[in-house]
Amino acid sequence: MRYLIGLLALAVAACGSAGPTSTPAASGSLPEGRYFVQFVGYVAAASGGPVHLQIAFVDAFAEAPSETPEVMEIELETDRGPFPGYVDAITPNPPDGGYQLTSVLFHVDSLPVGTYHVTTLSFHDGTARHAGVSIGAWTIEVLDKASFHGLSERESSIQAPLFAQLETKVRNETDGPLTITGLQMALPNVQVKVSMFAPDSQATPDASGFQQTEDRQVTEVAVGPGEDQALRFRFDPPDVAPFIVLQPILQFRDANGVEGLMQVPLNVYSAPFPSTADMEAYLRSLPPSAITK
């Protein structure tokens, strides 16, 4: 499975442009520390495989670090117990005005089937271990891998920075027809209506013979054997939270009514702050449990 990882746009939208400028943490700005972004997250996965997650934090410092921030020995603290996490990638942005944004992609192996609620994790930063660190509100849903068959993902589009829609293209890998019935997702503490759209196959060519592709809202989409199908899902209301991680499940059934699932790649939605002052205001609003020293 190919994962699409969006790097958070926490940095000021136009660095160096007009507006408030950042100052070093030791010169009257934020206290030095590591500030963890609070995500709203829904991640669905097949049993027996890895569950991929992405977190992010901002380091505030007096002197820019010379090395990549360390994040080791992650342990995801769920309502069903702790589970070890394994770091796949640490991606720091260049230090800027006393701050540095870093995103961390990690995975948890082979969670049993079930639903997990997560608000905190623990990790080692190379100097000390930190437990109970707040990372927002997440729902992880692990489903029986036997249901994941028949459809494959051809390409997906991250709609970052705005949480407004998701686009994907899938292929029917079976020798019979499949009917796509919708997108399964449940962001914690947030109500989102999901509408499905597909290209209108009845669109009429213009005088030159060019056929303008338009989407139409649908409740189901039939996909023949070996065929590809483009889909767009619209979220209403959009931008229900400033930072969202989403890995939903595409639902479908075969000609016999047997239901199946397909995992959509991981998507990260995050709108850039218009100024450093806005970013600082957000970081100051974080709960104490989201900040490590």
Same domain, 204 and 279: no
- Both 185 and 87 in one domain: the answer is no
CB 230 within 8 A of CB 199: yes
Residue 64 covered by a domain = yes
Q: Average per-residue pLDDT in the chain?
A: 86
7 within some domain? no
Whether residue 30 sits in one domain with residue 136: yes
Query: Quick one: 134 and 158 in the same domain?
Result: no
Do residue 278 and residue 246 come from a single domain? no
Q: Could you tell me the pLDDT band of residue 64, with boundaries at 50, 70 and 90?
A: confident
- Same domain membership, residue 158 and residue 107: no
- 161 and 196 share one domain: yes
Instruction: Work out how many domains the chain is built from and give that number.
Output: 2
The answer to whether position 18 is within a domain reads no
9 located within any domain: no
pLDDT per position as a tens digit, 11-26? 444 333 333 333 343 3
pTM of the predicted structure, to 2 decimals: 0.85
8 located within any domain: no
Instruction: Determine the 3-state secondary structure of 290 from DSSP.
Output: helix
Pick the closest to residue 180 from 152, 212, 145 (CA basis): 152
